[in-house]
Amino acid sequence: MDDLTFIEKQFPISKLSKESYKERKANLGQTLTGLGKWWGRKPLILVRATLLGLLMPSTDNPKKDREIFLKILTMDDKGLELRKDKSIPASEVYRYLTLNERNRYFTEEAGKIQYIKGLSNDEKYIAQSLAFKRMSYDEKLKYCKRPEEVELKDKKEWDVINEHLGTKAYTLQELVKQLGEKRFGKVPTVGDCFAGGGSIPFEAARMGFDVYASDLNPIAMLLTWSSLNILGSSQDEIEKLKEFQERVYKMADEIITKWGIEHNEKGHRANAYLYCNETVCPECGYKVPLSPSFVIGKGTKTVAILKDNAYGGFDIKIKMNATNEEMKRAEIGTVVDSKLVCPHCNMETPITAIRKDRRLEDGTIIYGLRRWEKNEFLSSKEDVFKERLYCIRYEEENGNRYYTEPTVEDLKREEKVIELLKERFNAWQEKGYIPSSMIEEGDKTDEPIRTRGWAYWHQLFNPRQLLVHGLLMELIDKEAKTKKEKVVGLLGVNRLANFNSKISRWNSGIGVEKVVDVFSNQALNTLYNYGNRGMIDVINAWIFTLNCFDINLNSCLYLSDARTIKSTATFWLTDPPYADAVNYHELSEFFLAWDKKMLLDVFPDWYADSKRALAVKGTGEDFNQSMVEIYKNLANNMPDNGMQVVMFTHQAVSVWADLTLILWAAGLKVTAAWTIATETESGGLKDGNYVKGTVLLVLRKQLSDTTAFIDELYPEIEIEVKRQIDSMRELDDKDDPNFNDADYILAAYSAALRVLTSYKKIEDINVEYELSKKSQRGYVSPVENIIGEAVKIAYDYLTPSGFDIFTWKTLTPQERFYIKGLDLEKSGVNQLSVYQEIAKGFGVKEYKNLLQSTKANNARLKTALEFGMKNIGTSDNFSNSLLRNVFAALHQSIKEENTMQGRNWLKNELSNYYWSQRSTIINILEFIATFEHIENMKHWQEEAKYSKLLIELIRHDGV
């Protein structure tokens, strides 16, 4: 194929991973997150790079291709200079300068680095520039905007780009148009049928592509529509929308002030309310406030203290500036390990027992809580759990804040809230201002039903929250004059639902002490205590950032099933819910409950339910069949020279194998695969032993008619794996490596799948059977076997530094596993999953006994000293290996502080083999000696030091 694009030949994995991480770490500062919650949005820089990689042709000068690619994305040296927007601290600048430069720009007084007095701004700029140029890419990013936040305008830079690409563009949008017209005769259309939070359609439109976007879920499409139409508004429209937000808030604020439900007798206004559940201890009959902790604020040292009131319950006193001892006591709550720990009788009772859950003989669990009725928004007398207001944070006119327990007057204000809501409840439900729909049972939606008895969505909100949110909905309905105003209002209420409900957590952290969001993970977790925002704080959720962007508004947006798409796209970019733990359809119902009626008013052609029955979810035959239908439909709605990229986040080979079969059955073939690290440590999507990255599977239409047998594939796969690794090594920047071992192994996956899917049919693989089979423990599919063989080829080819291919192949699989593991450990890799993958690659089944630590993200192999002399010469392969004997020799040398002991061990144990194996022994010892000055290999320091001594002794050993 001579028309390969940039992304099919190469991709700047390392830099894009760093840029994606930077974007993720911006949290709510990300461009689209302000519009509302959606799970697993892909970083915009990843979308931009992927689209540019699909559009930009590859040439016979791959290094120049990469230089131009990075230049367009402002990810080259000059682009980073353009993006630099933060001043580097003087002490940091000083660190990067030479002695002469330091003397020219800085002075040091009492250990403090300062610029020389009288230094001009130009001179300071020169010092900053010198330091910035010498920083690593990671360091530079700390002082830079994101690529999307700047625009490349330098004509000289564009001239370099145009010369290489044969274009005449001076903006990214012009470049997209011209490259598209050269290749396709028109501006390409980017399609996404799993639009979700809108990252792909938004970034495609911002780059100048025409856009097709659809999703089955109305909340997903509301966010996607907003990303294009709200953020694509003119500056004048944006200002009017901001004014609408402020006007509605001001009106609501005036009404709430008039009601008198937030101000106390001193005129101070509440900005946060803290509620907890209470239940009766079955052992002593006391009514116990439930909370895992009674620490309210770590910064203000505020705690709740339970006082036995001698009337069968507890008063709750609030104390600020608590002592360290009081803080420590408050950390111990009344709910520990899902058990009620009664502070009166000190007895423990499982919460499940309090709820009266029971298991039948057939294993079925019957949940004991009463289900609430539709007209209820408060617990009844017979309910197991009742809510109690136990703390209020007030704000004085001067901004000073303080916590206090509720007074009699505060509790009267709570009663007034209930009366005000009762007066409006039925009418507001009828008009759709507050939710009225039942919670449909499901994997995630069972939680509130099972643990609290809440059967309707409005029951996830307390009276104060329902009153405030309902009031805002009423005002939106009355005040909004345009479609965009209504949408901005809906987005505001959805944000408020996320940050102000009975399942919104109270964060007691230093510098935080506020109500935070519901969706810290992908669940609807009920809480024993929660926070409620006062109107002072409601504004922070209601009013969100509105910026305007230059967007190509030639877009088609549909709320529809991906199987029914009839629109054609040049490029389909999709992030399907594949092997995904996120139940989008269920979780989105939390927001749909608020939006149902107004959504249909704004978008009369839409529907307002999550279409659970049609949602692509889970795994298995039905799921696989749905995916085949969808991707076959996309392939049919793509020109022969069109392309697709499927994004997914998963490591298991079985997942790769199934997805490959799905795409192959849909008439597509793999041309490349890359992994970009897209998740931050707290991303929540993947954790522990899962890959924290997104795989990009690049695909074209399968236009071949050829057939092959599996046996015929292996020689072809071996050639392709080695060719792929060689080309990646040739491209790699030695000073700033782009690829690591994981990337080379992924390249092996990609090479195997490229060869496999280049054929129309493989005689030994029954695709329909593989996709329809039920999951069987221990079953390995033919495609998994093919990928496994490719991985073995890659590991054999990827010899660690210092080993030649001949020596490497003489080592046993266990020895290669061990040395490869040490090589990765040396470069900072410590995930247990990596060792699992290496073991598979070398065909090593038993390896746990070789590991000193098996913690998910802190795994490592044993050192020679940690092995000691245990299990030498036993029946397993490793105990008799040359490497194990080298470890024993090191142990003896260190223990006796004499390398002669180590040399003698080798000569005695290996006997006649010692002389023939001497060069390999030296090879291994030289490898261990390289650990000496490596920070994360400190546990190998003794072995590294003695390796150097032992090398010399063995090298000069005579008969």
Q: What is the pLDDT of residues 515-527, one digit of tens each?
A: 999 987 788 999 9
The amino acid sitting at 508 is: S
- Which pLDDT belongs to residue 649? 75
pLDDT band at 2 (very low <50, low <70, confident <90, very high): low
Please say whether the beta carbons of 268 and 394 come within 8 A: yes
Residue 691 has what pLDDT?
Answer: 40
At 581 the pLDDT is: 62
pLDDT top residue among 957 and 434? 434
Instruction: Check whether 505 has a pLDDT greater than 50.
Output: yes
* pLDDT for residue 689: 37
Give 110's pLDDT tier (boundaries 50, 70, 90): confident
Burial 377-399 (b: 16+ CB within 10 A, else e): bebeeebbbebbbbbbbbbeeee
Q: In terms of DSSP bridges, do strands 571-574 and 189-192 run parallel, antiparallel, or are they unpaired?
A: parallel
| 4-31 b/e (C-beta count within 10 Å ≥ 16 → b) | ebbbbbbbbbbbbbbbbbbbbeeeeebb
Phi, psi dihedral angles at 563 (to 5 degrees): -75, -15
Question: What is the tens place of the pLDDT at every residue in 227-248?
Answer: 999 999 999 999 999 999 999 9
Evaluate whether 652 touches 837 at the Cβ level (below 8 Å). Answer: no
Give tens-digit pLDDT for 764-790: 898 888 888 777 777 888 988 898 888
747-759 pLDDT per residue, tens: 888 889 899 999 9
Q: What is the SS3 assignment for 111-128?
A: CEEEECCCCCHHHHHHHH
Q: Give the pLDDT of residue 585.
A: 87
E strand spans, 665-808: 668-676, 694-701, 707-708, 761-762
Residue 589, both tokens: 């119902």
CA 300 to chain CA centroid, nearest Å: 32
Listed residue (881, 876, 744, 872) closest to 819, CA to CA: 881
Q: What backbone torsions phi and psi does residue 674 show, to the nearest 5 degrees? A: -140, 150
Residue 688 has pLDDT above 60, yes or no: no
In the prediction, which pLDDT does 683 show?
36
Query: Between β-strands 358-359 and 365-366, what pairing exists: parallel, antiparallel or unpaired?
Result: antiparallel
pLDDT tens column, 804-855: 888 998 999 999 999 999 998 988 888 887 888 888 888 888 888 899 998 8
Q: Where are the domains of the chain?
A: 6-182, 251-542, 801-810+848-955
Mean of pLDDT values over 607-616: 88
pLDDT beyond 70 at 442: yes
Residue 685 in this model has a pLDDT that exceeds 60 = no
pTM: 0.88
CA angle 195, 199, 205 (to 5 degrees): 95
Q: What pLDDT was estimated at residue 657? A: 84
Confidence of residue 676 (pLDDT cuts 50, 70, 90): confident
Contacts of 481 (CB under 8 A, 6+ apart): none
Residue type, 297: G
Identify the pLDDT of residue 959.
56
Check residue 690 and give its pLDDT: 37
Predicted confidence (pLDDT) at residue 687 exceeds the cutoff of 50:
no
Mean pLDDT on 902-916 = 91
Q: Is the dihedral of CA 181, 182, 185, 188 positive or negative?
A: negative
CA distance 234 to 240: 10
Nearest CA to 15 out of 676, 583, 570, 635 is that of 676
Q: Report the DSSP beta bridge partners of residue 842.
A: none
Q: Given CA atoms 53, 57, 59, 61 in this order, what sign does their dihedral have?
A: negative
* Predicted local distance difference test score (pLDDT) of residue 80: 98
pLDDT band at 795 (very low <50, low <70, confident <90, very high): confident
More confident: 313 or 649: 313
| 3-class secondary-structure state, position 288 | strand
Q: pLDDT tens across 384-435, in order?
A: 999 999 999 999 999 999 999 999 999 999 999 999 999 999 999 999 999 9
Residue 651: band (very low, low, confident or very high) from pLDDT cuts 50, 70, 90 = low
Q: Of all residues in the chain, what percent carry a pLDDT higher than 70?
A: 96
Amino acid at 18: K
Q: Strand pairing partners for 700? A: 669
| Whether residue 668 has pLDDT greater than 70 | yes
Backbone angles phi, psi at 779, to 5 degrees: -75, 130
Averaged confidence pLDDT in the chain: 92
Confidence band for 289, pLDDT divided at 50, 70 and 90: very high
Two tokens at 955? 């090298």
What gap in Å lies between CA 393 and CA 396, rounded to an integer?
10
CA distances, 257 to each of 260, 267, 413, 580 (Å)? 5, 11, 12, 46
pLDDT band at 684 (very low <50, low <70, confident <90, very high): very low
CA distance 913 to 902: 16
Reported confidence tier of residue 796, pLDDT bands at 50, 70, 90 = confident
Question: Token pair for residue 285?
Answer: 């009959």
Could you give the C-alpha distances from 856 to 688, 742, 831, 845, 849, in angstroms and in order? 5, 17, 6, 18, 16
Burial 456-484 (b: 16+ CB within 10 A, else e): bbbbbbbbbbbbbbbbbbbbbbeebeeeb
CA distances from 879 to 96, 739, 822, 859, 871 (A): 49, 34, 18, 21, 6
Average pLDDT in the 132-148 region? Answer: 95
Residue 160 class from Cβ within 10 Å (0-12 exposed, 13-18 middle, 19+ buried)?
middle
The predicted structure's pLDDT at residue 686: 34
SS3 letters across 563-614: HHCCCCCCEEEECCCCCCCCCHHHHHHHHHHHHHHHHHHHCCCCCCCCCCCC
Q: How far apart are CA 605 and CA 373, in angstroms?
A: 32
